[in-house]
Amino acid sequence: MTGRPIFYVDCFAGKGRFDDGNEGSPRIALKIRKEKIDVSHARDPRIDMCFIDLHYADDLSVNTQDYSLRTTIGDKQIISGRYENEILPLLQKRPNQNIFLYIDPYGIDALDFDLFERSLECGHNTFEMLINMNSFGFLRAGCSALRVPCDEIDVSDMVEFAPSEFEPSEASIRNVNRIAGGDYWQEIVRWYQKEKTHDPDAGYKAEAKLSHAYKMRLRTKFKYVLDLPIKISASAHPKYRMIHVTNHQDGCNLMANNMVKRKEELVIDFHNHRQLQLFETDLDNNIIQDSDIYDQVKEAVSELRSGDQVSLFTARFFTERGVFCSTGQIHKALMKMEKQGLIEVVRNPSHTETGRESSFWEEDGKHHVTLRRKAR
């Protein structure tokens, strides 16, 4: 809808289809591209796609051959190579476009923070990344680099294609610094070393601390950072984290709503089929009550900036408080606060074409919603 092409890159694409026959991320993305383009209202919708993989480019070509290389809705490109070597030349050829990188690496070694920074600086219209972060692999690498045993952390049900274990050395410490974008992780590993002797959950607490610190590091470069913990078993502890970053509020809000929808689908699937793959936060409203959401929104409104658009407010809400509700649920809480006289909601246009007072909450190029906190 921005009038500019989207360039979608699956940076560790794999074979396109798993050995059990299930579709991999490239085929899922290609299918969704066709579905979305068919119903798009954009004047000239275009989504170019690129799939990078070092080991399986030939398999990927075979498994996606029913999607042609060039179509009216965009190109498909398959590159045999390393993401670290290929991504910057690709992005430098796409100035002023909308970039979306899906980064699901085989380990953590490819997550070079400096490369994220350089990718961001290639002059794009918008830039987003969805990163599958193996946070426990991150913690294990840090422990190994600082000679801190971490056998107490139960990771027996995790799947990691390329375990990221670093031999203790100054080079390993520099390598983890490169991945983390700083040395803040060292203090967390030292904390874990001290606490694990008397706290059986120290490893999981250290993972949470490390993930939070990593998000804060990302926020030095991106306005909006979403963190979705993922479980791969019935355990209460997250095993991976999906992290989304962007500098555009609409990208943040769209991703947050998609995360909420996916959570709800998996909750239903879990209850119906007792499957073990499940997002950590259960968004069933029997657990997350409307009153809980209202309290969080009311607290966020106390920090409202003068004349904030509602899309900016919700994007900051998700970044600072997490993804546990949708934009629609936030709007519902704001509507209640408006009726209570706690906030003023200014809509432009203020009236519909038929003369009725406007009541919309969703913003676009022609509809804007401004929030103002009333003095008490």
pLDDT tens per residue across span 22-40: 999 999 999 999 888 776 6
Element (H, E) at 195: helix 184-195
Task: Name residue 246's beta-bridge partners.
Answer: 128, 224
Say whether pTM exceeds 0.85: yes
CB 206 within 8 A of CB 189: yes
Q: Is the previous residue joined to 349 through a cis bond, with omega within 30 degrees of 0? A: yes
pLDDT of residue 163: 47
CA distance 296 to 284: 17
* Inter-CA distances, 235 with 215, 230, 323, Å: 23, 11, 20
pLDDT exceeds cutoff 70 at 233:
no
**Beta strand pairing call for 126-133 and 74-80:** unpaired
pLDDT of residue 25: 95
Contacts of 243 by beta carbon, 8 Å cutoff, 6+ apart: 129, 130, 131, 133, 214, 215, 218, 225, 226, 227, 228
pLDDT exceeds cutoff 50 at 161:
no
pLDDT exceeds cutoff 60 at 174:
yes
CA distance 164 to 142: 10
Neighbour order of strands in the sheet with 308-309 = 308-309, 368-373, 343-348
Between 74-78, 283-287, 302-306, the lowest mean confidence (pLDDT) is in 283-287
CA distance 376 to 371: 16
Rounded mean pLDDT of 39-58? 86
Q: What percent of the chain stands above pLDDT 70?
A: 85
* Better-predicted residue by pLDDT, 351 or 234: 351
Q: What percent of the chain stands above pLDDT 90?
A: 62
pLDDT of residue 278: 42
Structure confidence at residue 301 as a pLDDT band (50, 70, 90):
very high
State the chain's mean pLDDT as an integer.
86
Neighbour order of strands in the sheet with 70-71 = 70-71, 74-80, 47-53, 6-10, 98-103, 126-133, 240-246, 224-231, 278-279
Rounded mean pLDDT of 7-31? 94
CA distance 172 to 145: 5
pLDDT exceeds cutoff 50 at 277:
no
CB 302 within 8 A of CB 375: no
pLDDT of residue 343: 93
pLDDT exceeds cutoff 70 at 145:
yes
Structure confidence at residue 101 as a pLDDT band (50, 70, 90):
very high
Tokens of 353: 């074409």
* Better-predicted residue by pLDDT, 165 or 213: 213
CA distance 178 to 171: 10
CA dihedral 291, 295, 300, 306 (to 10 degrees): 80
